[in-house]
A = this chain, B = another copy of it.
Amino acid sequence: MASVYCALVHHPVVDRAGEDITTSITNLDVHDIARSARTYGLRGYFIVSPIEAQHPVVQRILDHWCEGSGRKRFPERAEALSIVEISLSVEDAIARIEAREGRSPRLVVTSARSGLDRTSYEAEAARLAQDPRPTLLLFGTGHGLSDRLLRRADALLEPIQGPTDYNHLSVRAAAAITLDRLFGREPAPNGPI
């Protein structure tokens, strides 16, 4: 499997009315998505926020769990949070992946809105299992990623849909389901690319 990263985007995302906003970082998003990303073998998890004042808060959370008594008492939490990095922008996360991997990542985005040119989870899982290029998966807070990010993507995944017409999953649940659909099963031997 190629190197896969994910990012939780706090800007640019949209509000209920579709306007670009910046959301606040929340503690449980850091923990839950780190644990899911670690479970499914991701190389890194970026917390993307342009609000520099919140970066030291996240760093304190990471330091608490990754060092000293936090690490000693809850080593599995340290193992998950050790893959977390804070970045100012999606561009910053892409640049760091490029520096580490020697090539820029494919950008795969998620959205609860349906539309044209959506990629199925099966097709994306098959590609991820074979494509050597690194990949960055973007998850949006608020009411989802801004169209600016959706337009830049190499692949736009289908919305997660259950047997009802309700599609207001938390970003923590949506990220977990997305990772499970992409990495939680053996890829079909003759699956589509």
Contact = CB atoms under 8 A, between A and B. Distances in A.
A166 B36 contact: no
Given A162-B41, A162-B180, A32 B170 contact: yes
Contact of A40 (B79, B80, B162): B162
A128 B58 CA distance: 42
A18 interface: no
A175 B162 CA distance: 14
Contact of A38 (B28, B160, B166): B166
Contact of A170 (B31, B167, B181): B31
Interface in A23-75: 28, 31-32, 35-36, 38-41
A95 interface: no
Interface residues of A, number: 35
A36 B76 CA distance: 25
Copies of this chain, count:
2
Contact of A173 (B41, B172, B181): B172
Interface of A: 1, 28, 31-32, 35-36, 38-41, 76-77, 79-80, 160-164, 166-170, 172-177, 179-181, 183-184
18 contacts: A1-B163, A32-B170, A32-B173, A35-B168, A35-B169, A36-B170, A38-B164, A38-B166, A39-B166, A39-B167, A40-B164, A41-B163, A76-B168, A79-B166, A162-B180, A162-B184, A177-B177, A177-B180
